[in-house]
Amino acid sequence: MSGAEATRRALLVVNKKARNGGFDLDAVRGVLRRGGIEPVEPPPGETDCKALIHGHAATCDMVILGGGDGTLNAAAQALAEAQLPLGILPLGTANDLARSLGLPADPIEAAEVIASVPARPIDLGCVNGHYFFNVASIGFSADLAGELTADLKRRLGTIGYGVAAFRLLRRARPFTVYIEHDGVVETVRTIQVSVGNGRHYGGGMTVEENATVDDGLLNFYSLEVAHWWRLLALLPALRRGTQGKAADVRAFQTTEVVLRTRKPRPVNTDGELTTYTPAHVRVLSKAIQVHAPTAPTGRPSIFP
């Protein structure tokens, strides 16, 4: 490719605080330029994704974000509003959205995807006006998000999730949730409720084994276990996404659900505490475009 007409301008924003935020981008820039993409990088210190995306919406053709799921979560609403295609450089700890999309874990290989693979539409989840890519949850997962410090993630990577979970596990207690969906109201006692838009979350967990981020559906599950040790027995299923087959796990698909609790509880969206119950969760079908393979369900994970 050559000539100004063949060049797309891409706002390139990297979260330097991400676990691999210090990755040398020279090779990435080279891959992008060979693919006809000119990276436009904000001055050092300008890190507000929302403001940067809105500020460059009229002058850039796409957005490339380097970071983890928290970085993408912070930018989700601005991406939907600006209607700019997204390219992802997986530089975070878990990189669950990249995993759900079948993207390479290596940032240089991910840049090759951005440069060569057309953007395709994917869904977003929305809870109380907060957009998310992977999952919204209350209970154990939200408590874990509060416990999992940035330092722990940086030092231990995905192992940090296990360390923080072990600290919390014996303190986990069931709570009451009122679930409204598809014309019914259910009252349950649960340790965790999760509503997934994508497939993966939490550094290796799977919402539902056949879920995709472009199916127009939310996948719900509730862990209605009597004792905390039951979570240990469920762990293999939670990693595979088959927990919905267990007798003490409630699971269904929907497009909209409301979760109410007796007192406000924090809601974790993609690893960030963003709102409180009551939580109105819905799917926004085909909300944004992402440069990713067209059939992630048919290719094996290339993450380690």
229: helix, coil or strand?
A: helix
Fold of 8-117: Rossmann fold (3.40.50)
| The CATH number fitting domain 130-286, selected from 1.10.287.1080, 2.60.200.40, 3.40.718.10, 3.90.190.20 | 2.60.200.40
- Confidence at residue 246, expressed as pLDDT on a 0 to 100 scale: 95
- Confidence at residue 39, expressed as pLDDT on a 0 to 100 scale: 97
User: Model pTM?
Assistant: 0.86
> The tokens 């919204």 sit on which residue?
136
- Confidence at residue 220, expressed as pLDDT on a 0 to 100 scale: 98
- Confidence at residue 140, expressed as pLDDT on a 0 to 100 scale: 81
253, β-bridge pairs: 219
What are the DSSP calls for 126-177, one per residue?
EETTEEESSEEEEEHHHHHHHH--HHHHHHHTTHHHHHHHHHHHTT---EEE
Q: Is 272 a catalytic residue?
A: yes
Closest CA to 290 of 131, 128, 91, 72: 72
Question: What are the residue boundaries of the structural domains of the chain, listed by start?
Answer: 8-117, 130-286
The whole-angstrom separation of Cα 197 and Cα 213 is 6
From residue 191, give the alpha-carbon distance in Å to each of 177, 220, 291. 10, 14, 36
186 close to 251: Cβ distance less than 8 angstroms: no
Q: Of 81, 112, 209, 272, which residue is the catalytic one?
A: 272
The whole-angstrom separation of Cα 93 and Cα 89 is 12
From residue 221, give the alpha-carbon distance in Å to each of 139, 187, 191, 238, 244. 12, 14, 11, 10, 7
The whole-angstrom separation of Cα 280 and Cα 259 is 7
pLDDT digits (tens, 9 = 90+) for 197-216: 999 988 778 999 999 999 99
DSSP symbol at 297: G
- Confidence at residue 164, expressed as pLDDT on a 0 to 100 scale: 54
- Confidence at residue 298, expressed as pLDDT on a 0 to 100 scale: 38
108 close to 170: Cβ distance less than 8 angstroms: no
29 close to 82: Cβ distance less than 8 angstroms: no
- Confidence at residue 161, expressed as pLDDT on a 0 to 100 scale: 54
User: Which residues in the chain show pLDDT less than 50?
Assistant: 1-5, 149, 152-153, 156-157, 160, 296-304
- Confidence at residue 295, expressed as pLDDT on a 0 to 100 scale: 58
